[in-house]
Structure 1
Amino acid sequence: MDIIDIEALLRTYEDYLVHVRRSSENTVKAYIKDIRRFFEYIQKPPKDIVRSDVEKFVKALSKGEITGGEVTETTISRYISSLKTIFDYLQLIGVVNENPTERVRHPRLRKKIPSFLTMKEVKAMINTFDEEKELKYKTIISVLYFCGLRVSELCNLRVEDVSFYPPYIKVVMGKGNKDRLVPISDSIIPLLEKYVERYKPKVYFIESRGKSIHPATVFRIVKRAAQRAGINKKIHPHTLRHSFATHLIMNNVNVKIVQELLGHANLSTTSIYLHVADKEKFDAVKKLVI
């Protein structure tokens, strides 16, 4: 396959990611970059690529030969996921008969206990925005926390996906290509109703100049809220999702329910929040000093 064919393939695949899978801008960029590097290294048309080619590429990647520097297990795992999705797509459109990444193993990732906020800190972040002058910002922080959304899910959330009667958010094609329903907390329904009445969003629930809000803008809003609230931790939009999950576990919500609310494909991913709760318990006991 020559370079022109590769670029043509990547353009059609990018359209598929954006319009069918509704992947975030950052995800699309990462996948396209990973896949381009793979084809440039292997120099074979998709139909001729086999499992050993993928494993050869992963080995070169782990040695730093692809990127020109050391890469983490997380990055290697992302490359494998990128390749799996492109070959799933090629299988879907009939270019290949089977996915050569099917039995390629992901590196074992060390699970880090995610950082999270206390309920008091979350409340301070939400309340740092004035409801009259900064209603949109207050709404963004509230939806991220109370619905446990990923930033890409917030940015892609459409008006039609938000229901007030009954109150729920439909997350369409979230990570893992899986839809889910997330109930809206009674405590933020008045805020969301006020937001809709004032801004009258047409396509995307959180709009900026008629388009979906950019993830970088959401990141800046979250950082601003943390700074105003006097929180010195390293905060990003996903911190609110971690906090949502952690607080549910701390309030004895069944981990399976938390898994469904977060949209995790595997229970093992959600189980990390059990360790967070355990850490809190140990830290509490350590304060008992005689």
Structure 2
Amino acid sequence: MTLVAYAGNLNNRANVWVSLLAEERRRRAVRAVAEQDHAAVWELVEAFMAFRSQSGVLTSVHTLRSYRTGVRQFLEYAAEHAVNVLRPGRDDAQRYINALVAGGKKVLTVRSRVAAAVTLYKALRWAEATEANPFEETFAPQDRMHALEKVPPYQERVVRRVLAAAQERIAQAQPDELDRATAVHTLLVVLAHGGLRIDEALNLEWKDIRLEDDELRLVVRSGKGRKSREVPLSRSAVEALRAYRALPRTRKHPPRKVFPFASRSSAMYHVRPLFDEHGVTDWRGFHALRKYMGSRLYENLEDFAAVAEVLGHANVNTTKAYVRVGNERARKVLRDW
């Protein structure tokens, strides 16, 4: 019988590397790079992120997934272009960045891949496998496109059409499909009327939702930056949540969770057909619903600080990148000139 360390969560997986003596950690890191063992290299990077990064063991699954992809792609590039990972040449890192740009990668994707590669080298230096810091003097492209040009908010008519389609699906659902159909509709309402990030919505628990007449709010406890905030609920959101909560408890997901979707990809699998089937071919993702809510709220409040508080933005300038109403207001004024 062989004892194997429990690796069911980030902390336990990281402890496998952290508990090693320094020389053994260095030896394993060097061997993993030499043998192009991507899984082992990622385990080292993951351990470094858990113990040496700002978010630590609270690093989101989404971030870990993105960085793992970035580390793998850099190692594949290094193997294909004869780059010595532990002793890279002076221009190897910039050549990698240029290859990403020339390959048609979006600016945000390039910057994400570079961030993963930078973290890879931090982990290798932590393991004393190298002293190289090849990305220190590199230049990545700046994203000069306005956030609303890249992913504009859905228009009012689109949101109304999709919510109506979700309600129609509930009306036509068989008994064994009712729970899922209601979950999809409720998720869309919470996103469009509450402005939550998709991960925040999927992490909601029933204890975080107040549907009593004197409260009508929900508490986001796992937002970006690990800061909690209160979000007021619209009448439509309250009605949807009450109807969803009143369904028989036949769901297979843990009852403490509001929604049964394990990941954003799972949620998208059930939500996107509503867009595709009703002529909304320009699927912009869940974040466009968040921007829709922010824009609509600003149109009524004309207060960036208030909108930032609801959306959970630490900086009002971030909110300004979500909400663009100047052109529309100017259009209304100019129409009468």
Query: Please, what is the CA RMSD of the aligned residues?
Result: 4.0
Is 1:23 the counterpart of 2:55? The answer is: no
> Which structure 2 residues correspond to residues 147-166 of structure 1 after superposition, within 5 A?
147-164=194-211, 166=215
Q: 1:285 to 1:194 in 2, by over 3 A?
A: same
How far residue 143 of structure 1 moved from its aligned partner, in angstroms, is: 1.2
1:183-222 CA-to-partner distances (Å, cap 9, x unmatched) read 14141123212212326452432115xxx2x323432444
Pair member with larger Rg? 2
How far residue 30 of structure 1 moved from its aligned partner, in angstroms, is: 2.6
Q: How high is the sequence identity, in percent, across the aligned residues?
A: 18
Is 1:2 the counterpart of 2:55? The answer is: no
Letter in 1 for 2:106: T
Aligned to 1:168: 218
How far residue 32 of structure 1 moved from its aligned partner, in angstroms, is: 0.5
CA distance, structure 2, for counterparts of residue 75 and residue 28 of structure 1? 15
What runs of 5+ residues in structure 2 fail to find an aligned partner?
1-29, 174-180
Q: Which of these residues, 144, 149, 156, is aligned with residue 119 of structure 1?
A: 156
Aligned to 2:142: 108
SS at 1:129 equivalent: helix
Which has the larger share of strand? Answer: 1
Q: Which of these residues, 233, 238, 242, is aligned with residue 185 of structure 1?
A: 233
CA distance, structure 1, for counterparts of residue 311 and residue 120 of structure 2? 25
1:55-105 CA-to-partner distances (Å, cap 9, x unmatched) read 852x223321x68824332222212333466678x59xx658x9x678977
Letter in 2 for 1:109: D
What runs of 5+ residues in structure 1 fail to find an aligned partner?
none
Q: Is this contact kept in 2: 1:129–1:138, CA < 8 A?
A: yes
Q: 1:264 to 1:2 in 2, by over 3 A?
A: farther
Q: Is this contact kept in 1: 2:97–2:114, CA < 8 A?
A: no
Letter in 2 for 1:282: A
SS at 2:103 equivalent: coil
Q: 1:164 to 1:30 in 2, by over 3 A?
A: same
Aligned to 1:11: 43
Q: Which of these residues, 167, 171, 188, is aligned with residue 141 of structure 1?
A: 188
TM-score (norm 2): 0.63
CA distance, structure 1, for counterparts of residue 272 and residue 335 of structure 2? 31
Q: Which of these residues, 272, 282, 286, is aligned with residue 237 of structure 1?
A: 286
Aligned to 1:73: 107
Q: Is this contact kept in 1: 2:229–2:312, CA < 8 A?
A: no
SS at 2:154 equivalent: coil
Q: Is this contact kept in 2: 1:180–1:260, CA < 8 A?
A: no
> Which structure 2 residues correspond to residues 181-220 of structure 1 after superposition, within 5 A?
181-187=229-235, 188-198=237-247, 200=249, 201-208=254-261, 212=262, 214-220=263-269
TM-score (norm 1): 0.72
Letter in 1 for 2:267: V
SS at 2:152 equivalent: coil
CA distance, structure 1, for counterparts of residue 205 and residue 118 of structure 2? 28
SS at 1:280 equivalent: helix
Letter in 2 for 1:29: R
Letter in 2 for 1:2: R
CA distance, structure 1, for counterparts of residue 113 and residue 257 of structure 2? 30
Aligned to 1:284: 332
Count of residue pairs the alignment pairs up:
270
SS at 1:169 equivalent: strand
Q: Is this contact kept in 1: 2:191–2:289, CA < 8 A?
A: yes
Using CA pairs under 8 Å that are at least 6 residues apart, name the structure with larger relative contact order, 1 or 2: 1
